[in-house]
Amino acid sequence: MTKISIAPDDRVFVLTGAGISAESGLPTFRASDGLWAGHSIEDVCTPEAWKRNPALVWEFYSGRRSDGAKAEPNPAHVALAELEARLGERFFLCTQNVDDLHERAGSVRLVHMHGELTKARCERECGRPPVEDRKVYKSLDEVGRCACGGRLRPHIVFFGEIPLEMERIQDEIQKATLMVVVGTSGSVYPAANFVHWARQRGARTVYVGPEAPLNASAFTHVVEGKAGEVLPGLFAV
Ligand code: NAD
């Protein structure tokens, strides 16, 4: 079995995608022909969709909240939390996922570049921070308003919007000597470029997933397999 050695001076940057939560029962896009839980992205996951039909967008994300609350972290989430516990500040996790399975497994040094299902924020981008919101809405009338009067929208980066925390992410990639990418198809940008940025800095780059991603040629190792089966035995620290 492949082992990735982590030396005392290594700094590890991990990027995860929908594939890491697949074994927890949360579907990826790829698994369903580019649909997310039966919906096309254009209908539920774009600024235009929000303007056109906020009720449908909230209905969709309410469904994702219900599914997310029922799901449990799998051995892949746990393996990354355990790696963080050993490496401390030499570890950083960036997830494209909007579920909270990484934090529930114990990860702390992480950012959600595409937002979080368990939060909402003002649709007017008025500057107030996101608020905790785990409600499953049955109609738009139940959705609260911000102090400025704007309607609350899911704290999700819709397709076409700028991902969150990019400065911190770029800074961590600059410092990393090892990048590990798990369960992402390599088709959503800018995340699909992270491996190129890391390679330019001379880092080793490892991909873990059941099939090679679209950007496979940028990896120094591709470990084919399910995240929950590969990650628990992958690292030699
Ligand atoms: P994607 O659906 O495009 O690709 C999923 C990838 O996971 C594929 O490459 C597939 O081979 C791989 N995969 C499937 N099962 C796996 C397993 N058991 N172990 C490891 N890998 C596995 O997903 P993406 O590249 O992350 O891009 C999709 C976007 O969709 C992201 O922005 C994300 O926010 C959003 N999304 C999030 C969730 C979630 O939060 N759980 C779920 C679906 C989509």
Q: What is the pLDDT of residues 183-205, one digit of tens each?
A: 999 988 999 999 999 999 999 99
The pLDDT of residue 33? 67
- The catalytic site residues sit at 114
Question: What are the average pLDDT values for consecutive 10-residue runs of the chain, which has 237 residues?
Answer: 93 98 90 74 93 96 96 98 98 98 98 98 96 96 96 96 97 98 94 97 97 95 97 96
Considering the domain architecture, whether residues 167 and 220 belong to the same structural domain is answered as: yes
Question: What distance lies between CA 51 and its chain's CA centroid?
Answer: 24
Distance between CA 61 and CA 121 in Å, rounded? 13
Q: Which domain holds residue 234?
A: 1-26+72-114+163-237
Give nearest CA residue, ligand 1 atom 8.
185
Distance between CA 95 and CA 112 in Å, rounded? 5
Going from the Cα of 183 to the center of ligand 1, the distance in angstroms, rounded, reads 6
The residue whose CB lies within 8 Å of the most ligand 1 atoms, and thus the one to mutate among 15, 29, 67, is: 29
Ligand 1 neighbour 34 (Cβ under 6 A): no
Distance between CA 232 and CA 209 in Å, rounded? 13
Considering the domain architecture, whether residues 210 and 237 belong to the same structural domain is answered as: yes
The pLDDT of residue 132? 97
Going from the Cα of 101 to the center of ligand 1, the distance in angstroms, rounded, reads 14
Report the nearest atom of ligand 1 relative to the CA of 211.
Answer: 11
Ligand 1 neighbour 28 (Cβ under 6 A): yes
Considering the domain architecture, whether residues 132 and 64 belong to the same structural domain is answered as: yes
Going from the Cα of 5 to the center of ligand 1, the distance in angstroms, rounded, reads 26
Going from the Cα of 130 to the center of ligand 1, the distance in angstroms, rounded, reads 24
Query: Which one of 127, 156, 185 terminates a domain?
Result: 156
Distance between CA 69 and CA 30 in Å, rounded? 22
Considering the domain architecture, whether residues 132 and 224 belong to the same structural domain is answered as: no
Q: How many domains does the chain have?
A: 2
Ligand 1 neighbour 154 (Cβ under 6 A): no
Q: List the one residue out of 130, 135, 83, 136 whose CA is nearest residue 110.
A: 83
Distance between CA 179 and CA 24 in Å, rounded? 23
219 within 8 A of 206, measured Cβ to Cβ: yes
Ligand 1 neighbour 227 (Cβ under 6 A): yes
What are the φ/ψ torsions at residue 206 (nearest 5 degrees)? -125, 135
Give nearest CA residue, ligand 1 atom 16.
19
CATH number for 56: 3.30.1600.10
Considering the domain architecture, whether residues 101 and 212 belong to the same structural domain is answered as: yes
Query: Which one of 92, 127, 156 terminates a domain?
Result: 156
Tokens (6 digits) for 42: 């254009």
Ligand 1 neighbour 23 (Cβ under 6 A): yes
Going from the Cα of 46 to the center of ligand 1, the distance in angstroms, rounded, reads 18
The pLDDT of residue 1? 76
The pLDDT of residue 148? 97
Query: Which one of 97, 130, 156 terminates a domain?
Result: 156
Considering the domain architecture, whether residues 81 and 194 belong to the same structural domain is answered as: yes
The pLDDT of residue 76? 98
- Whole-number Cα distances in Å, 103 to 2, 84, 144, 146: 27, 12, 26, 26
Which residues, at least 6 apart from 14, have a Cβ–Cβ distance to it below 8 Å?
Answer: 80, 83, 91, 92, 93, 94, 179, 180, 181, 182
The pLDDT of residue 178? 98
Q: What is the pLDDT of residues 56-68, one digit of tens each?
A: 999 999 999 999 9
Considering the domain architecture, whether residues 22 and 57 belong to the same structural domain is answered as: no
